[in-house]
Amino acid sequence: MSILFQNLEAMVNFIKEYWKLLLAIAYAIFIPLYFYQSTKSIQNGLDNSREFSQKQINILQNSLDEQSQYYDELLQQYQDKIDAEEIRYNEEIENIKQVQQEQQKELSKRFKNNPSAISDELRKRYNLNDK
């Protein structure tokens, strides 16, 4: 027991004398290990965050592409309708011009001998009064 006590006493004296050196060695060993583990967990967190962000970017890009395609289709449908309406409008203008020409020919034939009767016919047709 005395040997154990002597060893324990020698160890206590050693610690009392070199406690600063022992503390510096402990810091030199455990602090880098702690920071390495901390840095590794932060790196893993950043990697996970980067991967999650990339997935979100891909989802948003796909959504944007789908929306762009949908709007392009809508624009094409609108343009097709506008083109069809323009064709229909031009056909109607042509029909109106033909009707006007036919009416002019009819009026010319009808009132060829009596031009003043045209004004009477127009007043009667469009309900115009002399005022």
pLDDT digits (tens, 9 = 90+) for 87-105: 999 999 999 999 999 988 8
Res. 130 pLDDT band, cuts 50 70 90? low
Assigned domain for 130 exists: no
Assigned domain for 19 exists: yes
Assigned domain for 100 exists: yes
Assigned domain for 111 exists: yes
C-alpha to C-alpha distance for 38 and 126, rounded to whole angstroms: 95
Contact 117, 111 (CB under 8 A): yes
Tell me the CA distances in angstroms from 109 to 98, 112, 124, one per residue in order: 16, 5, 18
Assigned domain for 48 exists: yes
Assigned domain for 13 exists: yes
Q: 74 versus 108: which is more confidently predicted?
A: 74
DSSP assignment of 83-103: HHHHHHHHHHHHHHHHHHHHH
Q: What is the total count of domains within the chain?
A: 1
The domain containing residue 20 runs over which residues? 2-123
Is the Cα torsion angle 85, 90, 91, 93 positive or negative in sign?
positive
pLDDT tens digit string along 47-92?
A: 999 999 999 999 999 999 999 999 999 999 999 999 999 999 999 9
Assigned domain for 35 exists: yes
Contact 121, 111 (CB under 8 A): yes
